[in-house]
Amino acid sequence: MRRRPIFAIVAIAAAGTALAGASAATAQVPRVITALTISANGPFDFRTGGKLTGFDIQLVERMARTAGARDVTWKVVDFDNLLNAIDNGQAMMGAASITITPQRAAIVDFGNPYLEADMGIVTRAGSTGITNRQSLRGQTIGVLQGSTAVPVAKGIQGAKVLQYPTMGPIYTALLNAKVNAVLNDYGQSRWYVNHNKPKFRFGGIIPVNQNYGLAFNQSRDSLRVAMNRALATMKRNGSYQELITRWGLQSLVP
């Protein structure tokens, strides 16, 4: 299938003409949307009481209803496998605080950006020396396998980078002094520290000038367009901001 150029990932302008209006897009939205996510990724995607919740989960479910779908069914996978699973048709779309990059856009189509995606540094409580990119030089850094934290960490002079398939073992490695710092998305890093005091400390932010987007199978363009429109509607009626406030993500709004 032809790969869409990167500038088309975030474009909405031509969508209305292509689908002859919002009603045409709504008519092509499936009654049940299948979606992939990850777990242990609060505040975006995690389990509580055995049920998936978080900003991404609630955002997609509200967008789906706004677009005309009846329900969203979720499946949890490792982040490193998520985009390929969407590309292979295991689900129509995915949501897991996925940073938009040209490399990923060759595998899936992205919806419009919905949050900024700066990096956050987490250290053990009582550690005060690691606060920015420069202070990570020569340190052992734990990162999520397949995430955009990997190239950021590898670009730090003298750093040893250890990759893990899920976030839980990374923070365990930090507590056990197998890594000196964890580098991950800012929103997830702040959330984890706030919910696991006094074990951890938030060290600082590394700006990366990137954004999150929902990922769609490339055969699901009508769904992508409909969900883009639903996001725009939610921003107009205040339901997007309601979720932002509920999950404490005000600092990541573009």
- If you count them, how many residues does the chain have? 254
| DSSP E strand stretches across 59-180 | 71-76, 93-94, 109-110, 115-116, 119-124, 140-144, 160-164
Instruction: Clarify whether residues 12 and 94 are in a common domain.
Output: yes
Instruction: Clarify whether residues 10 and 111 are in a common domain.
Output: yes
**CATH assignment of the domain containing 102:** 3.40.190.10
Which domain, by its residues, includes 73?
A: 6-116+212-252
Instruction: Clarify whether residues 23 and 141 are in a common domain.
Output: no
Residues pairing with 201 in the sheet: 123
Find the range with the poorest average confidence among 16-20, 39-43, 200-204, 214-218. Answer: 16-20
Cα separation, 136 vs 215, in Å, equals 31
Local confidence band at 254 (pLDDT 50, 70, 90 cut-offs): confident
- Residue 15 predicted with pLDDT over 50: no
| DSSP E strand stretches across the chain | 32-37, 46-48, 51-53, 71-76, 93-94, 109-110, 115-116, 119-124, 140-144, 160-164, 181-185, 200-206, 211-212, 215-216
Cα separation, 74 vs 94, in Å, equals 9
- Residue 183 predicted with pLDDT over 50: yes
Cα separation, 232 vs 144, in Å, equals 31
Mean pLDDT score, 127-148: 95
Confidence at residue 128, expressed as pLDDT on a 0 to 100 scale:
85
Sign of the dihedral defined by the CA atoms of residues 52, 56, 58, 62, in that order: negative
Instruction: Clarify whether residues 176 and 131 are in a common domain.
Output: yes
- Nearest CA to 247 out of 72, 64, 114 is that of 114
Check residues 146 and 254 and name the one with the higher pLDDT.
146
Instruction: Clarify whether residues 101 and 16 are in a common domain.
Output: yes
Confidence at residue 123, expressed as pLDDT on a 0 to 100 scale:
97
Q: Report angle CA 106, 111, 115 to the nearest 5 degrees.
A: 110
Cα separation, 32 vs 61, in Å, equals 11
Instruction: Clarify whether residues 137 and 178 are in a common domain.
Output: yes
Find the range with the poorest average confidence among 7-11, 39-43, 153-157. Answer: 7-11
Instruction: Clarify whether residues 107 and 227 are in a common domain.
Output: yes
Q: Indicate whether 1 belongs to any domain.
A: no
